[in-house]
Structure 1
Amino acid sequence: MTEFWRTEIKKAVTNKKNQRVVDMIIPDSATAVAVAEPILFKVYGKDEILGEKPYKVDAVDGYWVLTGTLPKGYFGGTFVIIMAAKDGRVIKLTHYK
């Protein structure tokens, strides 16, 4: 089966007429959250990330910047993830202390 998929991948990469051109993989804030959460959950833990809701989500120059928030009176850091809107690449992923 692996050899079949190797062949399919090779065809997909070389056959441009069957490829779809997508202007933007992450077009809106809801999609940005849907893409970011599984990554954040895996790296930092689901409970940790959900504890930083509501998220702050900003579109800046073709990138989505998502950060967590802390309740009033709490000190510490939150996650930051920056993703390219065009192709979904993660440009930055960190959690401040």
Structure 2
Amino acid sequence: MNKRTLNIAIALLLFIPAAYSQSPHNFKPARGYVPDAGTAIKIAVAVWEPIYGQEQISRQKPFKAVLVNGTWIVEGTLPKNSLGGVAVAEIAQDDGKILRVGHGK
């Protein structure tokens, strides 16, 4: 093998792995990135806690999530005979985008 052929072979061996490492890998589950209520609730809690505080959010358990037209609507629960509102989040089932966050009064 001559020197030129050897250099080409080495360059190819170095280039091929680099080319594959640059390719975009993107697996998307058939049911989207937020496939179920449990996942939607985990995302909502992760968003709510920095905004409203862990203590405030933990008092709103249990959380409920309902899927409506591809959007998870996640809400906290008020204890019986309590006044006030609960945290609400709307999360896209397909890509997990946070569409809306709020808190009732």
Q: TM-score, normalised by structure 2?
A: 0.72
Please tell me whether residue 68 in structure 1 is matched to residue 76 in structure 2. yes
> Quick one: which of 52, 59, 71 aligns to 1:51?
59
Rounded Cα–Cα distance in structure 1 between residues aligned with 2:58 and 2:44: 12
Please tell me whether residue 90 in structure 1 is matched to residue 105 in structure 2. no
The 3-state SS of whatever aligns with 2:83 is coil
The answer for the alignment partner of 1:3 in structure 2 is none
Give the superposed CA RMSD. Answer: 1.6
User: How many angstroms does 1:21 deviate by?
Assistant: 3.4
Please tell me whether Structure 1 or Structure 2 has the larger radius of gyration of its CA atoms.
Answer: 2
User: How many angstroms does 1:73 deviate by?
Assistant: 0.7
Q: For residue 72 of structure 1, what is the amino acid of its counterpart?
A: K
Rounded Cα–Cα distance in structure 2 between residues aligned with 1:58 and 1:19: 27
Rounded Cα–Cα distance in structure 1 between residues aligned with 2:62 and 2:104: 17
> Quick one: which of 19, 29, 36 aligns to 1:22?
29
Q: Return 5+ residue gaps in structure 2 as ranges.
A: 1-20
Number of residues paired by the alignment? 84
Mapping of residues 24-43 of structure 1, within 5 Å: 24-43=32-51
Q: Return 5+ residue gaps in structure 1 as ranges.
A: 1-10
User: How many angstroms does 1:76 deviate by?
Assistant: 0.8
Q: 1:19 to 1:64 in 2, by over 3 A?
A: same
Identical aligned pairs, as a percentage? 32
